[in-house]
Amino acid sequence: MALRPILSYPNACLKEKARDVANLTGTESTLITDMVETMYAAPGVGLAAPQVGVSQRIIVLDVDHESPGTRLITLINPVITEREETIVWEEGCLSVPDFTADVTRARRVLVTGWTPDEKEQSIEADGLLAVALQHEIDHLDGKLFIDRISRLKRDLYKRRIRKLQRQGKTPPARTRLSI
Ligand SMILES: [Zn+2]
């Protein structure tokens, strides 16, 4: 097991559409173990493989950090098959340090995918879990939550990051759970 570095905006890997997983080998199972450890250490409620530089359709989530592991979800090749109603949630992201914004998403979703032991899995989710699933699946499509906010807000964030980069600084550490 090992922690993997989390890539941040504007790393190009975060803009790529990730590939479907066709075979689950030792490489993928090591990746999944590392992703889970990296997510809890961050701390975050979810992590997608592209965030650690692997362009494959794998996500891990745990929205219950009070008792880590009991609600851990690992999904391979996840697909959203149903969406109901809308919800606005203030989102943050491990790959978008020091920034949060309100994002509108579906309040309830049905997501299907595969478990690491190759069983088909369906998850009905609402609230934070629904938001987190949509946020992670967006990562697999090369999308960040800042792509879902107004251009004006996004531009403010981009300018702040460019300024920090010019000054050779990195954004301050996060203080809240990110997705
Ligand atoms: Zn994220």
In tens, the pLDDT along 50-87 reads: 999 999 999 999 998 788 788 999 999 999 999 999 99
Report the separation in Å between the CA atom of 94 and the middle of ligand 1, taken as the mean of its atom positions.
5
90 tagged catalytic: no
Give residue 175's pLDDT band: very low, low, confident or very high (50, 70, 90). Answer: very low
In the set 28, 82, 120, 136, the catalytic residue is 136
Structure tokens of 86?
A: 């809308």
The C-alpha atoms of residue 135 and residue 50 are separated, in whole angstroms, by 13
pLDDT of residue 170: 78
- Contacts of residue 145, defined as CB under 8 A and 6 or more positions apart, other chains included, come to 91, 93, 96, 101, 103, 135, 138, 179
Report the separation in Å between the CA atom of 46 and the middle of ligand 1, taken as the mean of its atom positions.
7
Report the separation in Å between the CA atom of 27 and the middle of ligand 1, taken as the mean of its atom positions.
23
Q: Which residues of 40-69 are buried (b: 16+ CB within 10 A; e: fewer)?
A: bebebbbbbbbbbebebbbbbbbbeeeeee
Report the separation in Å between the CA atom of 152 and the middle of ligand 1, taken as the mean of its atom positions.
20
pLDDT of residue 98: 85
The closest alpha carbon to 42, from 11, 74, 8, 14, belongs to 8
Tell me: the pLDDT tens digits for 10-58?
999 999 999 999 999 999 999 999 999 999 999 999 999 999 999 999 9
Q: What is the mean pLDDT of residues 167-178?
A: 69
Report the separation in Å between the CA atom of 87 and the middle of ligand 1, taken as the mean of its atom positions.
17
Report the separation in Å between the CA atom of 145 and the middle of ligand 1, taken as the mean of its atom positions.
7
Q: What is the pTM of this model?
A: 0.93
Q: Pick the residue with more confidence: 124 or 69? A: 124
Report the separation in Å between the CA atom of 165 and the middle of ligand 1, taken as the mean of its atom positions.
21
Question: In the predicted model, is pLDDT for residue 130 greater than 90?
Answer: yes
Q: Which residues surround ligand 1, an ion (CB under 5 A)?
A: 93, 179
